[in-house]
Amino acid sequence: MVDEYKVTVSQFLTRPSVDPKYADKEPVPFRIMFGYVVEETQNGIYLKLEGKAAPSDICFVCGRTLKHPVSLLYGIGPDCGKHMHNSPMPKNEIEAWFEELKTKMKNTTWEGWLPKAYVKLEPTGKKVTPSKTNPTKQVVSKPPIVDQNLVKELVLELGF
Ligand SMILES: [Zn+2]
């Protein structure tokens, strides 16, 4: 068992890379995901993440501040959760929608290297079981895409 973290990434990490060299690097699907650390270097961190619906005042998908009561309960804003058109939603509709959302979030997974400086980790206090695949082997076959120059370029370009 390993520690589970709530992982918040900088917005540019959720967008496709502007550098063709990294065009095949998949962006992180949500601003806030949950998961564990597989490996760490001085500047990089290899994370295995999945989406989760949980109470939050920030949208897990896009990072915007939440005000809608349904949004606050599940951590997804009206745009990202598509619940903006019925407010207030009847209770049974909310439940059905939430079940669908939970499944959708849990099925959204991501793993890979991220630059430590643009990732915030907060322990959730929970333990998770790492998946059966041998992560160390996968990491070796995939060199870390943590190019500090690329990160600086991106940050400048996107105005962070
Ligand atoms: Zn959102």
What is the Å distance from ligand 1's center to 58 Cα?
8
pLDDT tens-place string over residues 111-149: 999 999 999 999 999 999 988 655 454 444 344 445 555
What integer is the mean pLDDT of 16-35? 84
pLDDT the model gives residue 152: 59
Q: How many degrees, rounded to 5, is the angle at CA 130 between CA 72 and CA 44?
A: 80
Alpha carbon of 66 to ligand 1 centroid (Å):
8
CA distance 160 to 111: 24
- Closest of 126, 116, 95, 157 to residue 2, by C-alpha: 126
CA of 107 to the centre of ligand 1 (A): 17
Do residues 83 and 70 lie in contact, with contact meaning Cβ atoms separated by under 8 Å? yes
Q: Which residue matches tokens 């979030």?
A: 105
Residue 156 clears pLDDT 60, i.e. is over it: no
